[in-house]
Amino acid sequence: MYAPPRKLILASGIALAMSVMSGMVAAATDQEITDARQETQIWTTYALSPYLRAHDLKVSVHNGKATLTGVVEEEVNKELAKEIALGVGGITEVDNQIEVKPDYTPKPSAERGYGERIEDASITAAVKSKLMWSRYTDGLATTVETQRGRVTLSGTADSAAARDTAGRLTMSTRGVVSVNNQLVVDSNKPTAVDSAKSSMSKAEGAISDSWITTKVKSTLLYSSNVSGSDITVSTQGGNVTLSGKVHSGAERDLAVELAQNVRGVKSVDAKGLTF
């Protein structure tokens, strides 16, 4: 019977051991990557939440178990943090060690956090879109800057009415805290506004009803003090019909004003808006 040399047996054993250890290291590395991804996902959601972003919450994940620590001022915020963690794929258990202290006040940060930057960018995009779609303003000729919900408009307007409309559209945008309207009225100097209005007056009839409907819906959804998701919009020949539920006559009037501002809209029928 053949007997393998002792050196061969030893070498085979070492190779087998290294193979097993390599597999264990790879498995451990994969788990660490998964843990890190889940931690990042939970933390990012906290940073985007207006109810949690100001709190110094910490997250640790190990093998599907998330451990939460930090301080909040209300029990509802602690529960929210737990539900967010449980909503992340692969998280099966949450050890919620967050303390509730009713007298706790989050320390304001001198610099904007991640969530605030994302929210400001979203506000800027919404304002620019509303100005671009408006028959009275040209968003591309207006500079929009947002800092913690405070919006600054700069550039030129061809009339005081256009300037005021830009300010109203901005102030009615969801998330806007205040508006610093620095638009300068210059009716003598040809601007992109003049060119845009000239082009739009020629192409007004070419704007499709579906485009108008989409822009009116988006404008309502972007706007505060309007239940945009509860309002149905339909357009035929540039004539817009609004229907659904609103909370007051003031909300209905604002919905009509916002719809009338959209390019291509000839008239707005709001008889279907009830409260």
Q: Provide the CATH number for the domain around residue 150.
A: 3.30.1340
Query: Does residue 153 share a domain with residue 68?
Result: no
In single-letter form, the type of residue at position 252 comes to R
Domain count, the chain: 3
Residue 12 pLDDT > 90: no
Residue 28 pLDDT > 80: no
Q: How far is CA 239 from CA 132, 215, 228, 246, 252, in A?
A: 20, 13, 18, 20, 17
pLDDT digits (tens, 9 = 90+) for 94-134: 999 999 998 887 776 777 788 888 889 999 999 998 988 88
Query: Does residue 154 share a domain with residue 118?
Result: yes
Residue 240 · residue 209 · CB < 8 Å:
no
Q: How far is CA 123 from CA 48, 56, 59, in A?
A: 14, 25, 29
Range of the domain at 128: 114-196
In single-letter form, the type of residue at position 209 comes to D
Q: Tell me the whole-structure pTM to 2 decimals.
A: 0.65
Query: Does residue 86 share a domain with residue 121?
Result: no
CATH code assigned at 19: 3.30.1340.30
Report yes or no on 1 lying in a domain: no
The helix-helix angle for 249-261 and 160-171 (nearest 10°) equals 120
Q: CB within 8 A of 181, min separation 6: which ones? A: 153, 163, 166, 167, 170
pLDDT digits (tens, 9 = 90+) for 59-92: 999 999 999 999 998 899 999 999 999 999 999 9
Report yes or no on 147 lying in a domain: yes
**pLDDT (average), residues 255-272:** 91
Query: Does residue 63 share a domain with residue 141?
Result: no
Report yes or no on 70 lying in a domain: yes
d(CA 87, CA 44): 13
Q: Indicate the residue among 51, 68, 100 that finishes a domain.
A: 100
**pLDDT (average), residues 134-140:** 67
Q: Which of these, 194, 67, 178, 172, lies nearest to 126 by C-alpha position?
A: 172
Query: Does residue 23 share a domain with residue 91?
Result: yes
Per-residue confidence (pLDDT) for residue 8, from 0 to 100: 53
Residue 234 pLDDT > 90: yes
Report yes or no on 187 lying in a domain: yes
Report yes or no on 105 lying in a domain: no
